[in-house]
């Protein structure tokens, strides 16, 4: 049985604050500000990528086991060959760290804020409930770190024409206690075009949720993607170039 994961990601509610932080960190983030504007009082689409070449410090805000910290760090580092960034694991509860991880929740609760939104949030920027004994551990950590590097969901790509059976999607997630707003934001909504998102839609992306056939019309499904795809690599190389 394909277990559908959902990460409870939300963009920062204050888009002006979020935009200011994104542009201060990396002026290139402003360049993709689009015309499309579905959200009222939004200032349009912009990217939330870190400044290429920098080191992101990773800290744990709760008392996590050393073995868990090392396993999370190792999985996160799978992105490093494709980005011009470094990761550094620093002492617990280091206030200056860019990525602050809380591991004390439940296995189902995993999320990260998007990229530079971490600069605007107090407390943990990422929650990881998975543990290394779980089959879903590595792919979940890689997926959440994809968000921490500014990637959004691939199933929400502007060209993802997933034939969702929408009432069944709501019903499915409601049975897991997930509300409609979270489903809208993390499953159904399409992301607006940006200058950097010129990499074609890829159903094999680690940022794509599994799609159950029962939740689509006709013969359409996506299995569990466990690895960084060629598209994911291309996207990250665009976001974090070496020059
Ligand atoms: Zn996600």
2-51 pLDDT, tens digit per residue, is: 455 678 777 888 989 999 999 999 999 986 545 444 444 456 778 999 99
- Residue 119 — pLDDT band, cuts 50, 70, 90? very high
Q: Do residues 60 and 92 make contact, with C-beta atoms less than 8 angstroms apart?
A: yes
The pLDDT score that the predictor gives to residue 192 is 76
The pLDDT score that the predictor gives to residue 80 is 98
Q: How far is Cα of residue 39 from the mean position of the Cα atoms in its chain?
A: 20
The alpha carbon of 155 and the centre of ligand 1 are apart by a number of angstroms equal to 10
Residues of the chain with pLDDT > 90, as a percent, come to: 73
Q: How many other CB atoms are found less than 10 A from the CB of residue 238?
A: 15
Angstrom CA distances, 173 to 36, 112, 215, 229, 238, stand at 28, 20, 10, 26, 34
* Domain boundaries, given as residue ranges, for the chain: 15-239
- In this prediction, residues 178-191 reach a mean pLDDT of 90
Q: How many other CB atoms are found less than 10 A from the CB of residue 208?
A: 25
Q: Which residue has the higher pLDDT, 119 or 109?
A: 119
Rounded to the nearest 5°, which phi and psi values hold at 89?
-85, 120
Q: Looking at the domain covering 15-239, what would its CATH class be? A: alpha beta
How is residue 67 written in tokens? Answer: 């073995």
Angstrom CA distances, 130 to 41, 44, 59, 111, 168, stand at 36, 34, 17, 11, 27
The alpha carbon of 207 and the centre of ligand 1 are apart by a number of angstroms equal to 6
The alpha carbon of 8 and the centre of ligand 1 are apart by a number of angstroms equal to 7
Q: Give 3-state DSSP helix, strand, coil % of the chain, rounded to 5.
A: 35, 10, 55
The alpha carbon of 143 and the centre of ligand 1 are apart by a number of angstroms equal to 6
Between CA 101 and CA 138 the distance in angstroms is: 15
Q: In terms of Cα–Cα distance, which of 55, 89, 97, 98 is closest to 69?
A: 89
Quote the longest CA-to-CA distance of the chain: 51
The alpha carbon of 125 and the centre of ligand 1 are apart by a number of angstroms equal to 13
Tell me the pLDDT tens digit for each residue of 130-176: 999 999 999 999 999 999 999 999 999 989 999 999 999 999 999 98
The alpha carbon of 205 and the centre of ligand 1 are apart by a number of angstroms equal to 11
The alpha carbon of 178 and the centre of ligand 1 are apart by a number of angstroms equal to 14
Q: Which residue has the higher pLDDT, 121 or 211?
A: 211
The alpha carbon of 91 and the centre of ligand 1 are apart by a number of angstroms equal to 26
- Residue 195 — pLDDT band, cuts 50, 70, 90? low
Tell me the pLDDT tens digit for each residue of 65-96: 999 999 999 999 999 999 999 999 999 999 99
Q: Which residue has the tokens 């990773």?
A: 58
The alpha carbon of 146 and the centre of ligand 1 are apart by a number of angstroms equal to 8
């Amino acid at each position: 049985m394909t277990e559908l994961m959902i990460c409870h990601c939300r963009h920062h509610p204050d888009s002006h604050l979020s935009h200011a932080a994104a542009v201060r960190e990396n002026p290139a983030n402003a360049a993709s500000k689009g015309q499309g504007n579905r959200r009222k009082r939004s200032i349009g689409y912009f990217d939330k990528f870190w400044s290429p070449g920098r080191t992101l410090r990773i800290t744990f805000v709760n008392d996590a086991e050393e073995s868990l910290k090392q396993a999370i760090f190792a999985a996160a580092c799978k992105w490093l060959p494709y980005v011009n960034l470094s990761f550094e694991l620093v002492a617990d509860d280091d206030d200056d760290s860019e990525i602050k991880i809380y591991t004390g929740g439940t296995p189902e609760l995993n999320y990260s804020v998007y990229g530079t939104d971490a600069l605007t949030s107090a407390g943990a920027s990422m929650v990881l409930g998975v543990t290394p004994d779980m089959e879903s551990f590595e792919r979940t950590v890689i997926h959440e770190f994809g968000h921490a590097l500014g990637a959004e969901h691939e199933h929400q790509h502007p060209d993802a024409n997933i034939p969702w059976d929408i009432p069944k999607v709501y019903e499915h997630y409601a049975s897991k206690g997930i509300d409609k707003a979270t489903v809208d934001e993390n499953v159904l909504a399409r992301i607006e075009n940006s200058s950097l998102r010129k990499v074609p839609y890829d159903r094999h992306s680690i940022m794509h949720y599994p799609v159950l056939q029962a939740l689509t019309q006709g013969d359409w499904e996506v299995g569990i993607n466990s690895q960084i795809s060629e598209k994911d690599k291309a996207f990250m190389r665009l976001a974090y170039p070496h020059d």
